[in-house]
Amino acid sequence: MNTSAHAFLSVLVSHGIDRIFQVPGESYIGLLDAVADFPQIDLVTCRHEAGAGFMACADGRLTRRPGVFMVSRGPGASNASIAIHTAQQDAIPLILVVGQVPHKDLRREAFQEIDYRAMYGSVVKWVFEVTAAEQMAEVAYKAVRMATQGTPGPVVISVPEDLQQQPVPQVSWRAQAHDPLRPSASGLARVRSLLSSAQRPLIIAGGAFDAPGGREALLAFAQAWQVPVCLAFRRHDIFPNSHPLFVGDLGLANPGDQLATLHSSDLILALGTRLDDVTSQNFSFPSYPQPAQALVHCYPDPRVVGLHFAAEVGLACQPQALVEELTPHPDVRLLSSRTQWAQALRQTHERIAAWPQRQADDGVRFFEVVRHLKALAPDDLRVCLDAGTFAAPVYRHFGFDFPQRLMAPLSGAMGYGTPAAVATALREPQHPVVCMVGDGGFMMTGNEMILAVQRQLPIVFILANNGSYASIRIHQERAYPARHLGTDLFNPDFATLAQGFGMVVEKIEREDQIAGALERALHARVPYFMEVKTSLKVTLPQA
């Protein structure tokens, strides 16, 4: 077949795309029909565009190829927007394909029409509306390139329904491998010199190391130069958390004394991180915009390097290439003060990461679930998290060592956990997957569990049911003590619901039930649902 839809899909396939998530719509049945001629594409039919989009985000993150999802115009595209935002905040390559009204009706406010350039303009890297069937191959190529180059991110392709199955000349595209961006010789020399003389250097490492060999290269570099490593927001799986040089992550709740010590570093190597809002502690670490210490900023996108913080050395290249060039280092005598510095930071981290003791009488303390999971966790566990305060013990106390992986939205989007777990299990069936989600976030998506049952994906879903949008309740208790409105939840019987989906179900109401239930769930190798009656009080600020 040689239609514009086939040209589009064949270019995607030539770039390794082998899965498309979708919710159908009459506006793109031409594209959908053509998928039948590409048996190498796994078409995943979803129940809501947000879930389809979150699945594509997780898939894009794991493969580093664009996650692809297709939705219908207007309503479908509106539902999809949360995933677009997440891909942007999380720097994930993503392609959204939207069916559009016939091209003669464009900009007439036709039925379900939206101008996607206006709608998505500020959140995506590129929006393109096809105006001629012959553009379809070229557009697919550019979409892949735009989504993956520089800072990875979302692109949106709008395809009028009448341009989807037009005859076009046959195309033959090959994926082009680009050389990684390498550091300049002068940049390398300057970093080497700074590294040799620093007494209190610190690495802040981010998501750009999430590539084959990236983590290993970072580890070798940090060890060779004896530089402690702090991880960027929710990038816990970039460096082994049990390593003596791991000194914590920069997140939403770093204690003041830890930050004060980090501020006293005399060299910061910000590698593969955008130094975003949360990582930089709301643009205060390092000091903004002129850091107190020398800053080396390395990221594979010149628009990002030195954007918020004035870097002494700015390197628009792959951080992996940089650290590989610098390892092993020529015989530099490392200052003994460096070891003491790293040890002091590590001690602070260990104090922060120690399991909490706080008592509660209103349900299971969720950190106990996380503690037991840590004890039982397989070496290659994938932990998929929704947004909510139930997840705080994972970020703070769990400790990831590769090949374990953390899949959590940097955007803080509720509803991410369940679809991300399904996409992770689809992509990596050889690894165990655990999904943790609150009773709020679970009902923002959650329907994706049916895919786990349909495809028999052995995901362990753990629902923390505290009857509250507790993260927000915590903010309320701080800002308006003892007054809370709009954060209590009236819940359905989740266990019965999950049973209806065809899951194996367990309810945890006491802490002595946790270990056995987790063991059963992890060994069952079937879709498993655990509802935990979770303490709310233990998460609220102490009076």
Ligand X SMILES: Cc1ncc(C[n+]2csc(CCOP(=O)(O)OP(=O)(O)O)c2C)c(N)n1
| Least Å from the CB of residue 536 to ligand X | 8
Q: How many helices (H) and strands (E) does the chain have?
A: 19, 18
Q: Which of 403, 439, 427 is nearest to 532 (CA)?
A: 439
> What amino acid occupies position 483?
R
Residues, the chain: 543
Q: Which is nearer to ligand X, 41 or 387 (CB)?
A: 387
| Least Å from the CB of residue 477 to ligand X | 13
| Least Å from the CB of residue 170 to ligand X | 44
| Least Å from the CB of residue 520 to ligand X | 24
What's the CA gap between 268 and 200, in Å, rounded?
Answer: 9
| Least Å from the CB of residue 448 to ligand X | 15
What's the CA gap between 33 and 11, in Å, rounded?
Answer: 16
Q: Which of 140, 127, 130, 133 is nearest to 15 (CA)?
A: 140
Q: Which two tokens stand for residue 74?
A: 């207007």
Adjacent-strand bridge partners of 167: 3
Q: Which is nearer to ligand X, 34 or 414 (CB)?
A: 414
Q: Which is nearer to ligand X, 187 or 415 (CB)?
A: 415
What's the CA gap between 526 and 541, in Å, rounded?
Answer: 38
Q: Which is nearer to ligand X, 390 or 494 (CB)?
A: 390
Q: Which is nearer to ligand X, 9 or 387 (CB)?
A: 387
| Least Å from the CB of residue 86 to ligand X | 10
| Least Å from the CB of residue 123 to ligand X | 15
Residue 3 backbone dihedrals phi, psi, to 5 degrees = -105, 170
Q: Which is nearer to ligand X, 207 or 393 (CB)?
A: 393
Q: Which two tokens stand for residue 322?
A: 């940089």
Per CB under 6 A, residues contacting ligand X are 387-390, 412-415, 438-441, 444, 464, 466, 468-472
CA atoms within 13 A on the CB side of 76: 25
Q: Which of 384, 320, 393, 391 is nearest to 356 (CA)?
A: 393
Using CA atoms of 419, 422, 426, 429 in order, give the dihedral in degrees to the nearest 10: 150
Q: Which is nearer to ligand X, 294 or 420 (CB)?
A: 420
Beta-strand pair 382-385/267-271? unpaired
